[in-house]
Structures are given as C-alpha cells and as structure tokens.
C-alpha cells in the first residue's frame, strides 16, 4: 500500500493524538493535543533575540534558527506529553501564512514525520490557528461567537458561525494593528518586538496626546492604522525639529489607547448586531493587558461574555495549530506530500 492509500483508509478517532508544528515566523513550536482540547504539551523556542539588532525578523536568520531548534522542540513536546512516536495519530502543520523559508522548514519536517509514521498530514492556516486557540482556553465554548483577530499581519472582526464557517465582517484597510505597534516602537527607539515594549512604556504614561480616532464610530467593521501611525511619526518629528522634549511614555500610552479602543468598540458592536452573546479574540496583540482589560470591562457593561486565550496562546504557538488541526482532522482534510508552503493563506 502507498502512503496515499493508507491515508485514504485512515479511520477518524475522536480522541486522536495530534502533534502540531508551527514555524511561520520567529517561533519554533511543537504541541501535542488529545481530542479537541486536552493539551498534553506545548513547547516553544524563539529566535527573537537574534533579530533585535536588525529591528525586525530577518527571514533567513529565522529559517536557520528553525532548522536547529525544530527537532529539539519536537522531542521535548513528545517527552513532556508522556507519549511515544507510535501514539501519534496525525501531524498538523502551519503551511501559511508566514515567511516562506521559515514555513518550509516546519512543513518539510512535518511531511517526513507523517510519512515515517504513516499517519495523515493536516494542513493548517496560521490565521485559523489564532482563532482556534480559544477552544483550549474555554473547553465548553462552541460557536457562534465574535472573534477579534489582532496580530502582526491581520486585524479583523469575524463572526464565527461554526467551527468551519466564518463571516468576515471587516478588516484593516492598510496596516495590521500589531504592525502599527511595531512601527511606533521603532519611532520611539524601542526594540523589536514593539508591542510588549510599547505596553511596558505606556504604563508610565498618560493618554494626553490628541491622535486621530481613525475609523472609530464609522467605516463599518473596517480599521485603518496608517493615519494613526503617520500622526505619531509627525508628532515625534515635529518635536525633534523644534528641539522639544517629548514624553515617550505619554506617546506610547496615547497610541495604545487609540489603537485598542477602536478594536474593542467594533468587537462589541459586532456581537450586538449579529445577536451573539460571546466575544473572543486571538493573535499576538491580544496579549496586550490594556486590550484585555478594555474587552473585559466593555463586555461586562454590555452584558456579553468574553473569552480570551491566556497570553502564551495569543502570541505564536503550536497548541493553536493543534486545536485547528483537530477541526480539520475530524473533516478528514488531509494533505498529500506535495503540499507547498504559502506566504498568503487566509481564513477560508
Ligand atoms: O500573532 P503574532 O505572534 O504573529 C503574527 O501572526 O503576526 O503577533 C505578533 C504581533 C507583533 O506585532 C507584536 O508586536 C504584537 O503581536 N504583540 C503585542 C503584544 N505582544 C505581541 N502588541 C501589543 N501588546 C503586546 N503585549
Ligand atoms: Zn501569528
């Protein structure tokens, strides 16, 4: 029998053990999940410190780091899950979106592992993974709900109608919110990754600088971050030219409020207009304490339930890939071994 025959005859098990691999950016991650939401292990190695001096992720450096870290991270995930290789029922892998070279390292490894174990290979979209992280946070949660996706590459409000069906209500017309955090951090002389550093500095500041409200209160569910970014850059440059001191903490705090408030407002509006009672969120920016606090407070005020992934499941990880992998596994969505990586993969 060929590998393809074996996969075609694979009997779907509800309690399947899925090993997932994520390598789309600078995190090398592997997780082991049993069934829909019993997370047995989740391991991450990051090459972030190697990128700091360049001010952002250098794709070639990230790819090389994945090649050295991957087998170590996989071994650790298997060991910490208390399983052996022969217990694995399927291998899930991020095939996009992300950096092509980085994705290819994880994808090649996953293909080789799936083939050697003669188990199915499950192709997972990174974006769907971010949304599926929520099923690990609340094991009782089921669609429908509204999901706010806020990462380095995506910003969107999504009506999650079922595990499989999504209605994208709106998204960014230009920069993603995480990208805006990273760019403003650079302007303020903060290191990569910008988001956590802006959040830290913002705690010492006040939101006393008037910045554009972007599409707050208008534009449906769409977002635009380029105007906000330009306004902050102009504010800093103008002060530099006049030789005036700026209070960087106030800039960080004012920017964070503007960037986050519009996300919260539109997520709540979506829940009301779609008639659902739960708001969830996913993506690296959801690790932001101010965003979490605002979502919690505003949902409470509006009688909505809010479910947020723990911070370590917001930023890139493989547990979320396993969670989405399980949804695809139940559908029998298996890839053949010629699956290619793709820099752009969306929700659908
Ligand atoms: O989801 P993610 O890890 O990778 C992508 O799929 O893009 O998101 C990374 C983004 C970066 O832009 C980073 O600055 C931002 O998430 N981020 C944060 C925080 N932690 C990560 N933004 C604001 N506050 C944070 N604490
Ligand atoms: Zn991500």
CA of 200 to the centre of ligand 2 (A): 21
Q: How far, in Å, CA of 24 to CA of 106, rounded?
A: 8
* Pocket of ligand 1 contains residue 194 by CB under 6 Å: yes
Q: Does residue 173 sit in the same domain as residue 250?
A: yes
Residues 170 and 59 grouped into a single domain: no
Residue 132 has pLDDT above 90, yes or no: yes
Verify that 158 and 98 share a domain, yes or no. Answer: no
**pLDDT at position 56, please?**
85
Q: Which domain holds residue 214?
A: 142-313
Give a yes or no: residue 197 inside a domain: yes
CA distance 237 to 179: 20
pLDDT given at position 133: 98
Does 199 have pLDDT greater than 90? yes
260 occurs within a structural domain = yes
- Whether 197 shows a pLDDT value over 90: the answer reads yes
260-270 pLDDT, tens digit per residue, is: 999 999 999 99
- Together in a domain, 103 and 178: no
> In this structure, which ligand is nearest to the CA of 193?
1
**Residue-level pLDDT at 346:** 80
Query: What are φ and ψ of residue 135, in 5° steps?
Result: -70, -20
Question: Which residue's C-alpha comes closest to atom 1 of ligand 1?
Answer: 284
User: How much is the mean pLDDT over the chain?
Assistant: 95
CA of 126, closest atom in ligand 1: 6
Q: In angstroms, what is the span from residue 127 Cα to ligand 2's centroid?
A: 7
Ligand 1 pocket member 129 (CB < 6 A): no
pLDDT number for residue 73:
98
The CATH code of the domain that includes 171 is 3.30.420.40
Token duo for residue 309: 């992934």
- Chain-centre distance of CA 306, in angstroms? 18
Write the DSSP string, 270-326: HHHHHT-SEEEEESGGGG-HHHHHHHHHHHHHTT-EEE---GGGTSS-SHHHHHHHH
299 and 324 together in one domain: no
252 and 125 co-located in one domain: no
Assess contact for 71 and 45: CB atoms under 8 A.
no
- Contact between 304 and 271 under an 8 Å Cβ cutoff? The reply is yes
10 Å CB burial of residue 97 (0-12, 13-18, 19+) is buried
* Digit-coded pLDDT (tens) for 69-84: 999 999 999 999 999 9
Instruction: Determine, yes or no, domain membership for 161.
Output: yes
Q: Which atom of ligand 1 is nearest to the CA of 97?
A: 6
The answer as to whether 338 is a domain residue is no
- Write the pLDDT tens digit of every residue in 282-318: 999 999 999 999 999 999 999 999 999 999 999 999 9
Share of the chain above pLDDT 70, in %: 99
Closest ligand 1 atom to residue 287 Cα is 26
Q: Is residue 341 part of a domain?
A: no
- 74 and 121 inside one domain: yes
Q: Hey, what are 55's tokens? A: 């001010």
What is the per-residue pLDDT across 33-44, written as a single tens digit (0 to 9) for each? 999 999 999 999
Asked if pLDDT for residue 30 goes beyond 90, the answer is yes
27 CA: nearest ligand 1 atom: 3
Nearest protein Cα to ligand 1, atom 8 = 284
Do 16 and 97 have their domain in common?
yes
Parallel, antiparallel or unpaired: strands 305-307 and 278-282: parallel
How do strand 17-22 and strand 27-34 relate by DSSP bridges? antiparallel
Decide if 197 contacts 185 (C-beta within 8 A): yes
Give the span between the Cα atoms of 206 and 214, in whole angstroms: 20
């Amino acid at each position: 029998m060929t590998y393809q025959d074996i996969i075609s005859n694979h009997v779907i098990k509800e309690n399947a053990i899925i090993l997932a691999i994520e390598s789309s950016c600078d995190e090398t991650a592997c997780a082991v999940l049993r069934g829909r939401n019993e997370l047995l292990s989740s391991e991450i190695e990051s090459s972030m410190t190697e990128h700091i001096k360049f001010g952002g992720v250098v794709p070639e450096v990230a790819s090389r780091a994945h090649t050295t870290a991957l087998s170590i991270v996989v071994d650790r995930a298997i060991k910490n899950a208390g399983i052996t290789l022969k217990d694995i029922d399927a291998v899930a892998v991020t095939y996009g979106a992300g950096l092509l070279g980085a994705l290819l390292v994880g994808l090649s490894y996953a293909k080789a592992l799936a083939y050697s174990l003669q188990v199915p290979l499950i192709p997972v979209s990174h974006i769907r993974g971010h949304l599926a992280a929520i099923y690990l946070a609340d094991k009782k949660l089921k669609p429908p709900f509204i999901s706010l996706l806020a990462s380095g590459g995506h910003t969107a409000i999504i009506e999650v109608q079922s595990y499989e069906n999504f209605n994208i209500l709106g998204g960014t017309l230009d920069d993603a919110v995480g990208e805006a955090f990273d760019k403003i951090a650079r302007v303020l002389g903060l290191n990569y990754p910008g988001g956590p550093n802006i959040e830290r500095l913002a705690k010492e500041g006040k939101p006393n600088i008037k910045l554009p409200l972007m599409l707050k209160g208008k534009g449906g569910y769409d977002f635009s971050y380029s105007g906000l970014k330009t306004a902050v850059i102009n504010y800093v440059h103008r002060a530099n030219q006049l030789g005036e001191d700026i209070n960087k903490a106030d800039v960080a705090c004012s920017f964070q409020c503007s960037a986050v408030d519009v996300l919260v407002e539109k997520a709540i509006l979506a829940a009301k207009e779609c008639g659902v009672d739960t708001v969830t969120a996913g993506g690296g920016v959801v690790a932001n304490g101010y965003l979490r606090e605002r979502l919690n407070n505003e949902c409470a005020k509006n009688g909505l339930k809010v479910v947020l992934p723990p911070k370590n499941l917001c930023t890139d990880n493989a547990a979320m890939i396993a969670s989405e992998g399980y949804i695809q596994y139940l559908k029998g969505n298996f890839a053949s071994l010629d699956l290619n990586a793709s820099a752009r993969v969306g929700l659908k």
